Chain A
Amino acid sequence: MKQEWPLWEVFIRGQHGLSHRHVGSLHATDATHAIQNARDVYTRRKEGVSIWVVPAADITASSPDDKGSLYDPADDKVYRHPTFFDIPDDVGAM
């Protein structure tokens, strides 16, 4: 029975102070192997200071079909944005 190496998603912290960002995926047999492969595939030019790997099968994602019901409630709360409020120029920077 032929089996492929599991898929891992790779996240890299580009610089100190930034959050990890998804950069792509790769195949590896376990977490240590995934980190080693991620170093070779995604950081050949010092693109990162820290690597996270996550088994792709363990990621739960929102469904594109839920776009409406998930994000609609934000549409009618424009007062959450600072530009909603008019502050006179005389007040200065705020």
Chain B
Amino acid sequence: MYAQMIKSEATQDDPEKLAAFQARIDAGDKIEPKDWMPAGYRKTLIRQIGQHAHSEIVGQLPEGNWITRAPTLERKAILLAKVQDEAGHGLYLYCAAETLGVSRDELTEMLLDGRMKYSSIFAYPTLTWADMGAVGWLVDGAAIMNQVPLQRTSYGPYARSMVRICKEESFHQRQGFDIMMKMANGTNTQKRMAQDALNRFWYPSLMMFGPSDKESVHSEQSMAWKIKMNSNDELRQKFVDQTVPQAEYLGLTIPDETLAWNEEKGEYDFAEPDWSEFFDVLKGNGPCSVERIEARQKAWDDGAWVREARLAHAAKKQAAKVAAE
């Protein structure tokens, strides 16, 4: 998902306090910033929310790629609004992470020097306009699968930012599907572009949920803490079951020859993505991995004088105000 392979931290806290904390979570209580929490809970959440925030911000890049080349002025305005929303989502999440005692600059620096990751999906290129459709439809669709249950996560600020994000995310997915409908019902070339976009984004979208976590100890701890609400496999299955009929509606073919409805289980059987590719992308070897971090580094460096100048201006104004009093 937007936060993948988050290792939950082992916790060495007072067992009595730990038990009381777990009891609160089990009772459905929300944990708020000033409440006592295990060190591992705090560290895991910083990593998870931070990675989620970075994904929103880096996620602006593949779509920003098409703003100047959108086919109509209306499509351009819509795409701009969507990319602006992604910035907003990043900001909600950064603020939620900051309530845990990490600073915004630290988070940014950890992204830039590779200590923190962003979702594997944004290391893929957006080659044609149809990719804008596929990203909205599939990538935002997969994100919604994960974010809707996270609205009930145990950490209050995280849950509240998810509520805001989910309200806005549905526009993103629908605008993507709208682009796909237009392309799929267009000329033969447009239809080919739509199919090609689906072909390229299908498996990377399935990878978003992360590898099977049946065996993972970290998943168990995160589930107990209610900072992970469903297993990766569960969400991936739900995504496939929801998306296949939508592809059929578009008259497009999911690039998986083994895909078949399983009457007995009441769900689709489908092929797993190539997990070695996933681990490679996560290590920073995706097709656009270098380009993405370079773009973030450039924005950070180019913005340095703005950050400083605004502070200097505010200090000057404050000094003038004090002098006048």
Contacts and interface: CB of A to CB of B under 8 A. Distances in A.
B313 A64 contact: no
B19 to A, nearest CB: 17
Interface in B30-54: 32, 34-36
Contact of B98 (A7, A33, A40): A7
Contact of B84 (A4, A27, A44): A44
A94 interface: no
Contacts of A4: 103-105
B4 interface: no
B95 interface: yes
Contacts of B161: 24
B92 interface: yes
Give the interface residue-count category, chain A: 20 to 34
Contact of B311 (A3, A61, A64): A3
B307 interface: yes
B23 to A, nearest CB: 15
B311 A5 contact: yes
Nearest to B32: A64
Contacts of A25: 95, 98
A34 to B, nearest CB: 10
A26 B311 CA distance: 15
A41 interface: yes
Interface string A4-43: 1101000000000000000111110110010000001100
A2 interface: yes
B294 to A, nearest CB: 22
B317 A30 contact: yes
B311 A24 contact: no
Nearest to A45: B168
Contacts of B36: 64
B106 to A, nearest CB: 9
Contacts of B313: 29
Q: Which of A23, A41, A63 counts the most B-chain CB atoms under 10 A from its CB? A: A41
A7 to B, nearest CB: 7
Contacts of B105: 2, 4
Contacts of A64: 32, 34-36
B307 A24 contact: no
Contacts of B34: 61, 63-64
B104 A41 contact: no
B310 interface: yes
Contacts of A5: 307, 310-311
A29 B314 contact: yes
Contact of A44 (B85, B160, B314, B318): B85
Contacts of A63: 34
Contacts of B164: 23-24
A7 B104 CA distance: 10
A6 to B, nearest CB: 9
A64 B29 CA distance: 13
Contacts of B91: 26, 41
B273 interface: no
B88 A44 contact: yes
Contacts of B310: 5, 29, 33
B88 A41 contact: yes
A40 B85 CA distance: 10
Given A41-B91, A41-B92, A44-B84, 16 more contacts: A3-B311, A5-B310, A7-B98, A23-B164, A25-B95, A25-B98, A26-B91, A27-B104, A29-B313, A29-B314, A40-B84, A44-B81, A44-B85, A44-B88, A45-B168, A64-B32
Nearest first, the 4 closest Cβ-Cβ pairs linking A and B are: A29-B314, A30-B314, A29-B310, A25-B95
